[in-house]
């Protein structure tokens, strides 16, 4: 009998800007334009250097959706010599690659052409579907239109971009909505084969937001949704939970395959009140299963050659490194 394997990635979380065109009812990540709304290049480079020294393999670049559409943002970004946030993440992705970190970008809604460009310097990318339902939490968020998000995930598939998506639990959707969302994701993967993992993420109320008093999904409800995901999704798509947001020890047995990106250095800027468990804690969480480090691009996509030539040497080096984890980094 094969021992069960639970995977994770060792990453650096880099929030390049907190400015966003959306106004979701549950979000505390978004901030107005102002001092500190852009992560300066020197801070990014310091974080990349320190993360590389700690054995990280992934640079997770994330930022608010279409910040350039928000008045005043372009002036703030212009202080660093950039007119467009996508130019900024492109250059910082090159800096990550130079430091032996594979970039993974979550940028919100991007066009086909923008995805194609960032594919040159990203090993994988992501966009949470969240839900196919029309929920009040998204009424002031044009980028959360389900059709718009599905189209982007579809375009990523057309471009053979290894991709992460997921659903957000507790934002006004029903269990039937969750089933519909997971079925849409499964269909997209069956068409294109690009979905690496689907995150089952529970909503966490934030003080000062419209949903600060909203009810939260309990462990049994989260477990049932994980089991539903494992039933609906193809076997080569991992079901992931964020181990800092729920009691992972109670959820592992529900059908979890992956624990996502874990940073030994940076916080979860989207849920700053929830600290990451560290690697030794993850080993305890998975119980009798084997905890195994992975890259942000999964092995089957490496085998298919789903990466740009620029990334191939680094992918090969890191694949070999995590296969023989004797670097003293705790893997």
With cut-offs at 50, 70 and 90, classify the pLDDT of residue 132: very high
Give per-residue pLDDT as tens, 25-79: 777 767 878 888 899 999 999 999 999 999 999 999 999 889 999 999 999 999 9
* Structural contact between residues 145 and 31, judged by C-beta atoms closer than 8 angstroms: no
Instruction: State the residue for tokens 């559409």.
Output: 69
CA 331 – CA 327 distance, rounded (Å): 8
How high is the pLDDT of residue 268? 60
End-to-end CA separation in angstroms for the chain:
24
Does 136 score more than 90 pLDDT? no
Which of these, 60, 133, 57, 62, lies nearest to 331 by C-alpha position? 57
Residue 331 pLDDT more than 50?
Answer: no
Report the chain's mean pLDDT, rounded to a whole number.
90
Would you say residue 24 has pLDDT above 60? yes
Chain Cα centroid distance, residue 256: 16
Asked if residue 204 has pLDDT above 70, the reply is yes
Name the residue ranges covered by the structural domains of the chain: 5-267+276-320
- Using one digit for the tens of pLDDT, what is the confidence trace for 265-324? 765 656 666 676 788 888 888 888 999 999 999 999 999 999 999 999 999 999 999 998
- Say which CATH class 5-267+276-320 falls into: alpha beta
pTM score, whole prediction: 0.92
């Amino acid at each position: 009998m094969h021992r069960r394997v639970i995977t994770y990635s060792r990453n650096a979380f880099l929030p390049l800007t907190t400015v966003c065109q959306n106004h979701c009812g549950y979000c505390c990540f978004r901030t107005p334009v102002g001092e500190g709304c852009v992560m300066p290049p020197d801070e990014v480079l310091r974080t990349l250097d320190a993360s590389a020294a700690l054995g990280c393999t992934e640079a997770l670049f994330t930022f608010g959706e279409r910040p350039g559409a928000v008045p005043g943002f372009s002036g703030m970004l212009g202080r660093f010599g950039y007119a467009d946030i996508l130019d900024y993440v492109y250059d910082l992705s090159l800096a990550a690659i130079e430091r032996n970190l594979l970039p993974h970008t979550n940028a919100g809604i991007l066009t086909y052409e923008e995805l194609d460009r960032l594919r040159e310097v990203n090993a994988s990318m992501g966009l949470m579907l969240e839900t196919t339902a029309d929920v009040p939490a998204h009424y002031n968020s044009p980028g959360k239109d389900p059709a718009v998000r599905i189209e982007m995930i579809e375009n990523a598939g057309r471009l053979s971009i290894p991709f992460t998506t997921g659903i957000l639990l507790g934002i006004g959707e029903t269990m039937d909505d969750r089933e519909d969302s997971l079925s849409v994701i499964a269909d997209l993967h069956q068409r294109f084969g690009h979905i690496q993992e689907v995150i089952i993420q529970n909503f966490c109320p934030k003080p000062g937001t419209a949903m600060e008093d909203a009810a939260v999904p309990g462990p049994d409800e989260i477990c049932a949704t994980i089991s539903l995901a494992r039933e609906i999704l193809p076997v080569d798509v991992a079901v992931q939970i964020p181990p800092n947001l729920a009691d992972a020890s109670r959820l592992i047995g529900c059908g979890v395959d992956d624990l996502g990106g874990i940073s030994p250095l940076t916080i979860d800027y989207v849920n700053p009140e929830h600290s990451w468990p560290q690697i030794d804690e993850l080993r305890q969480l998975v119980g009798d299963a084997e905890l195994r480090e992975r890259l942000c691009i999964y092995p089957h996509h490496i085998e298919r050659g789903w990466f740009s030539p620029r990334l191939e040497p680094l992918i090969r080096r890191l694949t070999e490194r995590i296969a023989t984890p004797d670097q003293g980094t705790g893997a």
